Structure 1
Amino acid sequence: MGMSVKVIYIWLILVASAFTAFAGRGNGGNVRLPADTLVALLEEAGLPAADTSLPKCDVRAEVSRDTLLKYDAIMDSAMRRANVPFMDSMLRVIRYGDVDTLSMACPIEARVYDWLPEPTRPPLVKIGKPFRRELKNGLKVILYEDHSMPLVTFYIGISNDGVFEKDKAGVAELTSRMLLSGVQNRTKGQITDSLANMGSSYRMTRGSFYVSGLKRYMLANFNLFADVILNPSFPLQEFFTTRSSLADSYALAESSTMRILDRVYRSLAFGGKSPAGEFASAQSVSGVSLEDCVDYYRKYWKPNNAVVLVMGDITPGELDLLINSRFRTWKAGIVEEQKISVANDVPSTAVNFIHDPRAQGCNIIISNIADFNYNSPDVFPALFINHVMGGDLLSDINAVLGGAQRTPADVFSLSPDPLGGYMYLRTRTSDMDVVRALAEKTAALQKLRVTPLAEDELASLKKLLIGRIALSLEDRNAMGSYGLAVERGLVKRGFLEEMLRQINDVTADDIMRVAQKYIKPSQFRIVVYGDARKVVPPLELAGYDVSFYDKNARRTERPSLSSPVTDGMTALDVLRKYFDAMGGYAKMRGVTSLKQTYGITIGNNEFTADVLSKTPFYYQEQLMYDGQVYMKKTFNGNMGYTKIERTRTDLSADKVEKQRKVRSIFPLLDYNKPGFKAELDSIVPVRGHFTYKLKVTLLDGSMQNYYMSMDQGVPLRIENVSEAAKKETDEDGRVVKYVKEKISSYSDYSDYKSVEGVKYPFTIEIKDDSGRIFWKLKSVTPGIPLPEKLFR
């Protein structure tokens, strides 16, 4: 054994011992090797203590099995004398049979497997063919014989994953639980007691049931298995208890952040196009009746919609007798096929936010639709993408084929889910790091699209994947799941036989191609669960468009993100800061006339607008389209009107009188005049910036909310608040009364630039119930002569 092999071998033993001590095995879980003991161990192995600094060297020497066993025995003896427990099950090469690989090197980055001969092609996998049979009623029966142990498992699964439950979400789960609540000749208690007395295990899911036990109880287990499927009694006395228990479990799940995040994501991503977008709740399952359960059973628990899988110590002849005795007379029926549509990605990256003021930190999902299935050749490059990103598509495949749920620990998946494929990344971060986390995760995903995997990394991943798959083929349950998936049409025959070859043929270019096809950074749906007050401002500052949803995926209004003012600022302080930021009170007061020309976008139409202002109260706004005046608004102190094309509406005398009171081009300059009111309300985030919310009543009596940037002092948003009379009618449509309703619209101001010493916003975004309108300032001319005749 060469020097480098000795070093690696002892390093592995020491790492393994440390792990053993940490895990609590041996001497109270707190074992440490003194320095002199470590030196003694190394010297006994024929190595100087200085060689402990060489844990990462490559191992390429040919090593015989006898040599490995020799050093195994030496280290075992030395460490026992040092009172350090030896990792029997992890490092003794004798336990590996014919595999003489020091696999523990992986956690410490030592490439100890490099000395093994490189495989040329993966071995041909031969999958034992199961016994298959189909009854006249359409029931498919599969048998995997295994006489190594006296165990027999009976499993039945129906195809109901693609069934929409709509407002009865949870009916499939409740129906399956009712199947175990009693049969025609046994109560629920008798069923469970019988299984317990025989030592049999069982499990019922929303679309499957299995019983597994000793061969000696095979007939009893099978009869109970058949009774549950064929003769459920749906006892009313058990229904309410079962439904209440299920509703409680759903209510408990609603307190889980991860479950809320996942179900909101699925609902938004798949909506009504796929059952993947549905989720059950305590409310929905409480609306399911016993009749709904009976109806669901009759619709979907049909022999032509089911597959029976049997595994274990049983022959085809024995199985034939059992199946014919109970399932031959099970009546087939028409099973309604429901259309599942392909979900669509969002047009551009968007953030869907679930606000919880009690949330600590942020939970995030980054996802997009990935439309492919398990029979696609893209599955194999996707395996590599999953491992690079820390996910595990092999576990996803096993979960889908076996009908089990994925574990909540999965954080990444590029998965061809039968109900709708997706790219899904979930992470958690602090409130302050949410933008950085999104940038880092997006960059990592983008890297897969543009940077090929290094050859050595690709080769290592191939070894890992091929080894895992080869080992999984020895699992009887995995093989049974595979056979079941074939019968359901989820995978084609020969899938596993071809899998190792397909993985070995994957290239770095294949991985990039699949990443480019199914990872879409420009169309990410980002779902965030957290405290909007802490997280939304930096998200909006980073340019994300944020919409809000509740825990049931319903669109909600933007929550209040305000907080009280605690820095001692007053409304007068905010106004003075505003004047200073805009160029100074005197400079602003010196603007007595002003012309502004805008380019305006309304939908797909482009307009231009000229806005003229002159003290004390002259104002004109003219909107033009295709060279023609489309709208004109004028006020000269004595009269005012609005004209749209040929329709003119004059201002009332009352409005004329009120508007005459406004004497400044910048309304806040009148802050010290009678009738002007300003109240500092709170601190509110606007477009990623914290602002002072200033409630203002102008001289004309109109009310506005100014959102002044705490840093810059300029207004980032001005909100117009007004009241309108809303009709309330009775059942016959007659007006009962009028009630006041507050109506608000706002304009966002940005891109401030100084012109002759005064700042003006060069971008204005107006938002109301009709949508958004963008005004882009093309030119601004203060001090321009404006004769009064222009305002007639």
Structure 2
Amino acid sequence: MKKYIIYSICFLLGLGLSLTLKAQEDFRKKAPAALPAPKIQLGNYVQNVLPNGLKVIVVENHRLPKVSFQLFIDAPLNLEGEFAGVGEMAGSLLANGTKTKTKAQLDEAIDFIGANISSSATGLFGSGLTKHQDKVLALMSDMLFNPTFPAEEFEKLKKQTLSGLASAKEDPEAIAGNVANVVRYGKNHPYGELSTEATVNKITLEQCRKYYATYFKPNISYLIVVGDITPAQALAKATQYFGKWQKGTVSKTPFAAPTAPKQTQVDFVNRDGSVQSVIDITYPVQLKPSQPDYLAVIVMNTLFGGDSNSRLYLNLREDKGYTYGAYSNVSPDTEVGYFTASGSFRNAVTDSAIVEFMQEFKKMRETLVKPEELSRVKAVMAGTFAMRLERPQTIATYALNTARYGLPKDYYNTYLERLSKITPEQIQAAAQKYLLPANAHIVVVGSQDDVADKLKAFGTVNYFDTDGNPVKAPAAPAAGGISAEQVIDKYIQAIGGKEKLMAIKDESLSMEASVQGMTLEMVSLKKDPGKVKISVTAMGNEVQSQVFDGKKGKVTQQGQSAAMGEKELKKAEGEALIFPELHYAKLGYKLSYKGTEAVNGNEAHKVIIEDPQGNKETTYFDVKTGYMVKSVETSEAGTQTTEFADYQEQNGIFAPRKVVIAGVLPFPLEFKVKSIEWNKGLDDAKFKVE
């Protein structure tokens, strides 16, 4: 009996343990039930409207004795046309001088109170300590009502803008972004027009004043006040400093909504020497935050390519190793938004990367997201939302969005609750509506020789320049047509002829450039046979030099010298040649003709020049003149592009007087030739290597 009781107890304990383990196993198979979404209590904001139409939004926060004022000009879409870029220049000039203060005096006044004040095409921003709020507002209102648009500051700003545009032409990601804007919207839409050297050079002070007078009106503007101030105080300050601002009529021009292409097309920009291709798959979308499916679209994009745990990133970087990162973005807008999926990829895998992009598009559209994947994305988005709420400025942004987009008053208070209710079916519906792999622009910036032919598999290939202008596809060399040697011979003839060039035994060249207000001078001395010395000075101080005497050489940089290595010596031998084109055959250079291509709007022959060490240089020769107009060289240090222009004759020989070098610094260097002389009888001592 006792034994039976013991067995019974063991049986019951075992049964209990079994049931417990089974219950735990069943528990693990089920995702835990979602907790109710927490209620969000955003900081309160108060909105009022002044008699002149200026809408005042106030977010009160007394944690720190600081206050900020953002004057936001909600200007309607407008085409700037031949003066593209005028809005940004006009806005920037507001902070560069008023009727009462020069730019220097404004900067001094701002620094004295430890404030921060800036201006742009969309208005003014100022922040500082609460005790200095009147001084901040006085400076801001002075800029708003009394700008003088000083000519000197205008010219400085124009030079900075042109320098930035020149630099962007050498940045493949910037090029891809510009071309994406153009093909996505078209140049007849404000979002598709680009600022270029031509448009910026046409901008005048009068055009800036006209833009300011047209769009800086209170009845289309918001004043967002955040910080250590009460709504009543803020309204009083707004009335005091901006109440006299006169309202005005601002006309709105209707623009046809851009649409995605009927079928996918490839939009290609050639960038010789690129070892990577930038891919941007993009198209316009009609998406506003007020749409019922907006949040589902944002969740879908976060899952697709919004972060480093997204499908694109995990596939293209972690799995395939094609890139350092691949992402997507969907951007809403009051007029028209856009979708983009992009990354930079090795030339060899450019086409493979596009295939993977398209497979991820298909998977997102055709299959339901798994609950655990959706839960991860929701958790990430909820955490990001919570962190943003730590900033009072976020509350102001949400308040502005609510007003601009016509959102419900509790739109952001219910954000987490609405996020928690997004379903896999809603995600798939959003993907099917907004992911359009069959109606996309595939923008690619890369090397024509390495990737262009592979892109035909994805659609019609259209060619563009860096400003988004359509250009002809590079013409392949015709069978039995012109040769590389003939192009070189024409160049030699164009600059003076073989006989004159062979008679040159030494060359002295001096060029000068301006870098951020500093004068940079480059002096090149060459002497036959095979001697060269190149020095670069800044404000009279030598910063770099190299010298080669035909056998040995050294490089000096900021006072530190080192002997040239074997590779450097070989390169110096080529650089020492006064007219290297005369010696290509003798020295064993290989020449390859690659057809014609547009360079700065003119047709040019493309020739690959390879030295005996295997270093390649892509050179372009104007079809009409025969002059060399561009060269591109890729090395371990990166890709250097040199453009040659303004050829002038001296002693029967034509040489360029303008040389632009890009890729060495973050911005291009535009050199002007100060002097060039031949057969001066240079002393061998100038090339001595100590």
Task: Name the TM-score, length of structure 2 as normaliser.
Answer: 0.61
Unaligned runs of 5+ in 1: 1-59, 62-112, 394-407, 566-680, 686-792
Give the equivalent residue in structure 2 for 1:482.
398
Which whole-Å CA distance do the structure 2 matches of 1:301 and 1:174 have between them?
14
* Matched-pair identity in %: 26
Give how far 1:139 is off: 0.6
- What residue identity is the alignment partner of 1:548? Y
Q: CA RMSD in A?
A: 2.9
Give the equivalent residue in structure 1 for 2:359.
443
**Matching of residue 516 in structure 1 with residue 413 in structure 2:** no
Judging changes above 3 Å, is the alpha-carbon distance between structure 1 residues 443 and 328 closer, same or farther for their aligned structure 2 residues? Answer: same
Give the equivalent residue in structure 2 for 1:129.
44
- What residue identity is the alignment partner of 2:415? M
Which whole-Å CA distance do the structure 2 matches of 1:196 and 1:563 have between them?
65
Which whole-Å CA distance do the structure 2 matches of 1:409 and 1:168 have between them?
36
**Matching of residue 236 in structure 1 with residue 151 in structure 2:** yes
**Matching of residue 290 in structure 1 with residue 200 in structure 2:** no
Judging changes above 3 Å, is the alpha-carbon distance between structure 1 residues 684 and 240 closer, same or farther for their aligned structure 2 residues? Answer: closer
Judging changes above 3 Å, is the alpha-carbon distance between structure 1 residues 276 and 492 closer, same or farther for their aligned structure 2 residues? Answer: farther
Which whole-Å CA distance do the structure 1 matches of 2:191 and 2:453 have between them?
32
Q: Name which of structure 1's ranges 408-417 and 223-232 shifts more when overlaid on structure 2.
A: 408-417
Partner secondary structure for residue 140 of structure 2:
helix
Partner secondary structure for residue 192 of structure 1:
helix
Give the equivalent residue in structure 1 for 2:656.
none
**Matching of residue 156 in structure 1 with residue 71 in structure 2:** yes
**Does 1 or 2 have the higher relative contact order (CA < 8 Å, sep 6+)?**
2
Give how far 1:383 is off: 2.1
Of 345, 352, 355, the match for 2:260: 345
Q: What CA deviation, in whole Å up to 9, does each residue of 1:564-602 have, x standing for no partner?
A: 99xxxxxxxxxxxxxxxxxxxxxxxxxxxxxxxxxxxxx
Of 460, 465, 480, the match for 1:545: 460
Give how far 1:563 is off: 11
Which whole-Å CA distance do the structure 2 matches of 1:329 and 1:181 have between them?
22
Of 263, 284, 296, the match for 2:178: 263
Q: What CA deviation, in whole Å up to 9, does each residue of 1:49-98 have, x standing for no partner?
A: xxxxxxxxxxx99xxxxxxxxxxxxxxxxxxxxxxxxxxxxxxxxxxxxx
Give how far 1:492 is off: 4.5
Judging changes above 3 Å, is the alpha-carbon distance between structure 1 residues 529 and 140 closer, same or farther for their aligned structure 2 residues? Answer: same
Matches within 5 A, 1:399-418: 411-418=327-334
Which whole-Å CA distance do the structure 1 matches of 2:104 and 2:181 have between them?
37
Which whole-Å CA distance do the structure 2 matches of 1:252 and 1:140 have between them?
39
Judging changes above 3 Å, is the alpha-carbon distance between structure 1 residues 468 and 532 closer, same or farther for their aligned structure 2 residues? Answer: same
Partner secondary structure for residue 306 of structure 2:
coil
Which whole-Å CA distance do the structure 1 matches of 2:473 and 2:232 have between them?
67
**Matching of residue 203 in structure 1 with residue 93 in structure 2:** no
Partner secondary structure for residue 69 of structure 2:
strand
Give how far 1:161 is off: 5.9
Give how far 1:274 is off: 3.2
Judging changes above 3 Å, is the alpha-carbon distance between structure 1 residues 383 and 209 closer, same or farther for their aligned structure 2 residues? Answer: same
Q: What CA deviation, in whole Å up to 9, does each residue of 1:691-748 have, x standing for no partner?
A: xxxxxxxxxxxxxxxxxxxxxxxxxxxxxxxxxxxxxxxxxxxxxxxxxxxxxxxxxx
Contact 1:161 1:275 in 2 (8 A): no
Q: What CA deviation, in whole Å up to 9, does each residue of 1:356-390 have, x standing for no partner?
A: 22222211111233212111122212222222223
Q: What CA deviation, in whole Å up to 9, does each residue of 1:744-767 have, x standing for no partner?
A: xxxxxxxxxxxxxxxxxxxxxxxx
Q: Name which of structure 1's ranges 465-474 and 483-492 shifts more when overlaid on structure 2.
A: 483-492
Which whole-Å CA distance do the structure 1 matches of 2:29 and 2:131 have between them?
49
Of 433, 438, 447, the match for 2:349: 433
Give how far 1:115 is off: 13
Judging changes above 3 Å, is the alpha-carbon distance between structure 1 residues 475 and 119 closer, same or farther for their aligned structure 2 residues? Answer: farther
Give the equivalent residue in structure 2 for 1:172.
87
**Matching of residue 194 in structure 1 with residue 109 in structure 2:** yes
Unaligned runs of 5+ in 2: 1-22, 309-323, 481-591, 597-690
**Matching of residue 469 in structure 1 with residue 414 in structure 2:** no
Of 135, 147, 159, the match for 1:220: 135
- What residue identity is the alignment partner of 2:93? M
- What residue identity is the alignment partner of 2:286? D
Give how far 1:543 is off: 5.7
**Matching of residue 374 in structure 1 with residue 295 in structure 2:** no
Contact 1:135 1:328 in 2 (8 A): yes
Which whole-Å CA distance do the structure 2 matches of 1:454 and 1:311 have between them?
41
Q: Name which of structure 1's ranges 303-312 and 193-202 shifts more when overlaid on structure 2.
A: 193-202
Q: Name which of structure 1's ranges 530-539 and 131-140 shifts more when overlaid on structure 2.
A: 530-539
Give how far 1:177 is off: 1.3
Which whole-Å CA distance do the structure 1 matches of 2:476 and 2:33 have between them?
61
Of 369, 391, 397, the match for 1:453: 369
Q: Name which of structure 1's ranges 281-290 and 556-565 shifts more when overlaid on structure 2.
A: 556-565
Give how far 1:175 is off: 0.4
Give how far 1:226 is off: 1.2
**Matching of residue 358 in structure 1 with residue 281 in structure 2:** no
Give how far 1:496 is off: 0.8
Contact 1:368 1:519 in 2 (8 A): no
Give the equivalent residue in structure 2 for 1:503.
419
Give how far 1:456 is off: 1.4
Partner secondary structure for residue 414 of structure 1:
strand
Matches within 5 A, 1:1-16: none
Contact 1:122 1:504 in 2 (8 A): yes
Of 468, 473, 480, the match for 1:558: 473
Contact 1:354 1:530 in 2 (8 A): yes
Contact 2:69 2:226 in 1 (8 A): yes
Of 515, 528, 549, the match for 2:444: 528
Partner secondary structure for residue 390 of structure 1:
helix
Partner secondary structure for residue 379 of structure 2:
helix
Give how far 1:292 is off: 0.6
Partner secondary structure for residue 423 of structure 1:
strand
Judging changes above 3 Å, is the alpha-carbon distance between structure 1 residues 212 and 683 closer, same or farther for their aligned structure 2 residues? Answer: closer
Judging changes above 3 Å, is the alpha-carbon distance between structure 1 residues 204 and 444 closer, same or farther for their aligned structure 2 residues? Answer: same
Contact 2:96 2:149 in 1 (8 A): yes
Partner secondary structure for residue 468 of structure 2:
coil
- What residue identity is the alignment partner of 1:276? Y
Q: What CA deviation, in whole Å up to 9, does each residue of 1:149-199 have, x standing for no partner?
A: 100111101013622212211111100111011111111111111111111
Which whole-Å CA distance do the structure 2 matches of 1:237 and 1:180 have between them?
13
Q: Name which of structure 1's ranges 416-425 and 496-505 shifts more when overlaid on structure 2.
A: 416-425
Runs of 4+ in 1 over 4 A off after TM superposition: 113-119, 561-565, 681-685
Give how far 1:434 is off: 1.7
Give the equivalent residue in structure 2 for 1:245.
160
Q: Name which of structure 1's ranges 133-142 and 268-277 shifts more when overlaid on structure 2.
A: 268-277
Which whole-Å CA distance do the structure 1 matches of 2:262 and 2:30 have between them?
51
Matches within 5 A, 1:585-624: none
Contact 2:462 2:473 in 1 (8 A): yes
Give how far 1:511 is off: 0.6
- What residue identity is the alignment partner of 2:235? D
Which whole-Å CA distance do the structure 1 matches of 2:94 and 2:228 have between them?
27
Larger Rg: 1
**Matching of residue 143 in structure 1 with residue 58 in structure 2:** yes
Which whole-Å CA distance do the structure 2 matches of 1:543 and 1:426 have between them?
16
Which whole-Å CA distance do the structure 2 matches of 1:226 and 1:118 have between them?
55
Which whole-Å CA distance do the structure 2 matches of 1:422 and 1:392 have between them?
18
Give how far 1:423 is off: 2.0
Which whole-Å CA distance do the structure 2 matches of 1:253 and 1:684 have between them?
27
Q: What CA deviation, in whole Å up to 9, does each residue of 1:504-563 have, x standing for no partner?
A: 1111011111101111121121111111122122223x3632121111111111113459
- What residue identity is the alignment partner of 2:404? R
Q: How many residues align?
A: 445
Give the equivalent residue in structure 1 for 2:622.
none
Judging changes above 3 Å, is the alpha-carbon distance between structure 1 residues 280 and 684 closer, same or farther for their aligned structure 2 residues? Answer: closer
Which whole-Å CA distance do the structure 1 matches of 2:105 and 2:595 have between them?
63
